[in-house]
Every structure is written in structure tokens, then in C-alpha cells.
Amino acid sequence: MNNSLRTKKIKDKAFELGFSHVGVSKAGFLEQEARQLEDWLKNDYHGKMSYMENHFDLRTDTTKLVPEAKSVITFIYNYYSPIKQNDNEAPKISMYAYGKDYHKVIKKKLKELQYYIIENFGDINIRGFVDSAPVMDKAWAKKSGLGWIGKHSNLINKQKGSYFFIAELILDLELETDIAIKDYCGTCTKCIDACPTDAIIKPYVVDGSKCISYLTIELKDEIIPDEFSGKMDNWMFGCDACQEVCPWNKFSSRHSEPLFEPPLDLINLTKKEWNELDEEIFENLFKSSAVKRTKFKGLKRNINFLNT
């Protein structure tokens, strides 16, 4: 079977599993991205995410993650939902965390695709990744033609906007590669202008230590720094500010994944109820959610900070 037919069969199976778009690129070293990452780390834009300093060689070269890797298949999975929390004054949760933890949902689909590939093409060395290893997912998505990196540092797809998850399969099988597309941001600066904490310090460069997603999820300190008081735009977990204003998200369409639907209990909670949140309610609401990353203590810290 030739590379073209192999690639088509894999993509068709991926679409059957619910992935929105699929792209393929040749495995190897990300030279330009390695330089950019090095500069980003030197400027301490990773804040207290010390893990970003680890495994630099693995992060920038897929053949170090999967020996003799020949191809990187990148997938995007839509999570856009028009549903909003009912109380406009309630602290906000980023849309990606509305439903079940995407790591588990997508990992299951990747496993199924892995079995399909091995069953059809032989005993192949293959690994799947969903934020689970040092893989530069946006770089590989860009390289495989799934979109371009916007000025807010998120991947933008011309058909779907930017509300999607990214996943990869890295494997030692040659496939037909796709072609990267150009940047369509033009002179637009809406995402930069809308960032509540001025975390996008210049086009395409985000100071992660100022990002609300970092402050509400990654930062494990007892308190959020006072300099961000009044600047959190009522976000208690993650932030969608830069995506909400992006003109390309007018093309976003509702996802078709039942597991990403938010529970009514979550959508209906009022500001008062969030302020009175206890650990039992937290565990019930978020038992299978990405929000559990903050733990109860962390989410309470975030909610309390919004009230200062």
C-alpha cells in the first residue's frame, strides 16, 4: 500500500472517531521553535512552570520521543459551545473545561486509532499524546497545515477558529505529508487589546506568568499576586478573553461530543452559590473534569481573589 492510500485510510478513521481536522508532517527537529522556546524560557515567561525547562531535547525533536519516528499525525478536536453560565455575575470557567476531562476523552480515541493503524499496517512503533508529554502540539499542528499560530499564541484554523484541542500520534511509518499554510492574522490586534492582564506582550509572544490561565491553574501559590487584583475579568478557571474577540471564531460551530456538554448544575450556579462552594459540591461537580487540576483549595483561592 502506498503512502497516499495509507494516509487516507488513517484520516478517514480519525474523522469517523470525531476529529475535526487531521494533518501529517515529517518527524524531526523543530529548529525555529527550539530557538523561540529557548528565548521564552530565558525571559522567564514560563513563571513557576518549572517543568517547561525539562526535557528540552524531547520537546523539540520527536525522534527522541519515538525512536526512528518518521511521521507526526496531528489532530484537532472541536469543543466550541454556545452555552454560557446563566448568572452573568458568576465567576467564569473557560469553555474547554465545561464537560469531561478532554485528556481522557481524546486519549481513548487515540488508542482506538493506534489499534486500527497497527491492525492495518503491522507492528509499528507508535505513541499518542494529549498534553501528556513534552510535545509542541501547536508547532506540529502548524507544520501539518491545520492552521497558523495567532498573535495570542493559539492555533487558528480557517474553518473552525481556535476552540479545539490538539493531539498527536508519533510513529515510525512514512505517510503523505501536508503543507503549512500562511498566517492570516494580518494587522488585527484584537486579542492583544482584549487581554485583561496584558499578557500578550507583543504579537506572538505571551508572558505566561501574566496569563489568567496560568494564574488560576498553573500557579500553586497560596495567593495570587496583588498586581492582578481587579484585572481577572471574573475568570476563576482559565480564560477565553483572547479567543472571544478573535474574528476567526465567527466560523466556530458547536461541537458534537456529548461528553463535552456542561452539567446543568454547573451552568445554573449563581455568584452567591460559587462564593459558598464547599468541598462536597466541588467533588460532585468536577469529579471527571479538568477543573480538578486546581483542587478545591485552588478554586476557592481563585474565587476569593475575585472578591478582593
- Amino acid type, 263: P
Q: Taking each helix axis as running N to C, give the angle between helix 102-121 and helix 3-16, from 0 to 180 degrees, rounded to the nearest 10.
A: 140
Burial of 205 (0-12, 13-18, 19+ CB in 10 A): middle
- State which amino acid sits at residue 51: Y
Q: Is 131 a catalytic residue?
A: yes
Beta bridge partners of 21: 76
Residues paired with residue 171 on neighbouring β-strands, in sequence order: 71, 126
Which residues on neighbouring strands pair with residue 24, listed in sequence order? Answer: 73
For residue 169, what are the CA distances in angstroms to 120, 164, 252? 16, 17, 25
Question: Which candidate in 61, 131, 183, 233 is catalytic?
Answer: 131
Residues marked active site are found at: 131
